[in-house]
Amino acid sequence: MSTNAYDDIAPFYAAMVPPTTRAGLYPANPDMASRIARLSDGSHILDAACGSAYDAIAISRGLPGLCQPPRRFVVACNDRSAAMVRQARENCRRVLGAELEMRQCAMAALADVPEWRGRFDLVIAPNALTTLSDTQDLGDYPDYLLDCLAGMRAVLKPGGTLLVDMRDWDRAHPQAWTLTRRVYEDDDLHFVVDYRWAFGPTVDSVHEAHMTIWQDAKRDIAMGEEDYRFAGIGSRDLATLFERARFSVVAAEPQVRGLDREPFLTFELRRD
Ligand SMILES: C[S@@+](CC[C@H](N)C(=O)[O-])C[C@H]1O[C@@H](n2cnc3c(N)ncnc32)[C@H](O)[C@@H]1O
């Protein structure tokens, strides 16, 4: 996966977003959604790796699938991929009929955005902190993660909350899958997303996956493919890195995704 691999898959990314999130009802991660629903009206929320902005759109609509009346949040977003930001702007115009405050910028570079410093009650970074680029080795991952966390810390208010999710390698590695599959369908669309896995020898290894997005149930037509390298890290080492970045762990909520019940953890972190 190159640094800007998401530039390549931006046009297909909708395939990986659940229909309820594409419809702007609530963010894709149910645990994040329920934690966001507990915030007060008027809270400022940043999606720091917004991708195609479907989560940010649902949050700016006030989570209408969860909260009635919908909540009133002030939402901004950023992503380091130019193509994702283009896609995000297009989705905002199409779904919201309006722009969201948006920047093309890496998480680590958030510290250099003066008008965002110390502004947000909540920062989220779903599905964004587990992969390595082609130029990164596993040994680079701790410093990379610390830089991302420092950027997000810089834009949080003191005492603010960071929500991130991670693959749970302690539970995933023993499964030694060769293939995991997710299916997304609604009235108009039917996508199958396959990950063909090559796990490293231990939890703390690089784990590789070749992802194929099929646009039909029979898996005849591949609409996108990508190679991922994941940084294997156990949850104890992860907690140590969060603490080094001066976040305390408020919750680590287990979750499973897809037909094979791939294990994830959603972390609620508090800026100390
Ligand atoms: C798998 S997508 C997830 C997008 C969105 N958060 C979601 O859950 O649908 C990962 C996104 O994170 C972005 N990303 C990865 N590393 C990043 C970084 N260091 N800073 C900012 N964005 C990053 C990618 O460009 C991509 O859009």
Question: What pTM was estimated for this model as a whole?
Answer: 0.95
Look at residue 150 and tell me whether its pLDDT is greater than 70: yes
Determine the pLDDT at residue 163. 98
Mean pLDDT of 148-175: 98
- The closest-lying atom of ligand 1 relative to the alpha carbon of residue 4 is 25
Look at residue 160 and tell me whether its pLDDT is greater than 80: yes
Closest C-alpha residue for ligand 1 atom 27: 51
User: Ligand 1: which of 127, 136, 264 to mutate, most ligand atoms within 8 Å of CB?
Assistant: 127
Determine the pLDDT at residue 10. 61
Look at residue 41 and tell me whether its pLDDT is greater than 90: yes
**Range name among 151-155, 223-227, 251-255 with the lowest pLDDT average:** 223-227
Query: What's the CA gap between 85 and 82, in Å, rounded?
Result: 5
Give residue 226's region: left, alpha or beta (phi > 0; psi -120 to 50).
Answer: beta
Look at residue 164 and tell me whether its pLDDT is greater than 90: yes
User: Ligand 1: which of 12, 47, 81, 107 to mutate, most ligand atoms within 8 Å of CB?
Assistant: 81
Neighbouring-strand partners of residue 198: 208
Burial zone of 166 (CB within 10 Å; 0-12 exposed, 13-18 middle, 19+ buried): buried
User: Ligand 1: which of 2, 4, 6 to mutate, most ligand atoms within 8 Å of CB?
Assistant: 6
Query: What's the CA gap between 255 and 252, in Å, rounded?
Result: 10
CA atoms within 13 A on the CB side of 100: 36
13's tokens: 């990314």
Mean pLDDT of 130-147: 95
CA atoms within 13 A on the CB side of 20: 11
Measure 80 CA to ligand 1 centroid, in angstroms: 7
70's tokens: 């919908």
- Residues 173-191 have pLDDT tens digits of 999 999 999 988 777 778 8
Closest C-alpha residue for ligand 1 atom 1: 127
Residues with CB under 6 Å of ligand 1 are 6, 17, 28, 49-51, 55, 79-81, 84, 106-107, 126-128, 148
Q: Which residue from 59, 55, 29, 24 is spatially nearest to 44, judged by alpha carbons?
A: 59
SS (H, E, C) the chain: CCCCHHHHHHHHHHHHCCHHHHCCCCCCCHHHHHHHHCCCCCCEEEECCCCCCHHHHHHHCCCCCCCCCCCCCEEEEEECCHHHHHHHHHHHHHHHCCCCEEEECCHHHHHHCHHHCCCEEEEEECCCCCEECCCCCHHHHHHHHHHHHHHHHHHEEEEEEEEEEEECHHHHHHHCCCEEEEEEECCCCEEEEEEEEECCCCCCCEEEEEEEEECCCCCCCEEEEEEEEEECCCHHHHHHHHHHCCEEEEEEEEEEECCCCEEEEEEEEEEC
Determine the pLDDT at residue 7. 60
1 band by pLDDT with thresholds 50, 70 and 90: very low
38 band by pLDDT with thresholds 50, 70 and 90: very high
Look at residue 196 and tell me whether its pLDDT is greater than 70: yes
* Residue 256, phi then psi, degrees to nearest 5: -125, 150
Mean pLDDT of 115-124: 98
Residue 69, preceding bond cis, omega within 30 degrees? Answer: yes
Determine the pLDDT at residue 8. 61
How is domain 5-168+234-271 classified at the architecture level of CATH?
A: 3-Layer(aba) Sandwich (3.40)
| Token pair 């294997």 in the structure block, residue | 232
Closest C-alpha residue for ligand 1 atom 4: 51
Measure 36 CA to ligand 1 centroid, in angstroms: 19
Determine the pLDDT at residue 190. 81
CA 146 to mean position of chain CA atoms:
17
DSSP state of 217: T
Determine the pLDDT at residue 123. 98
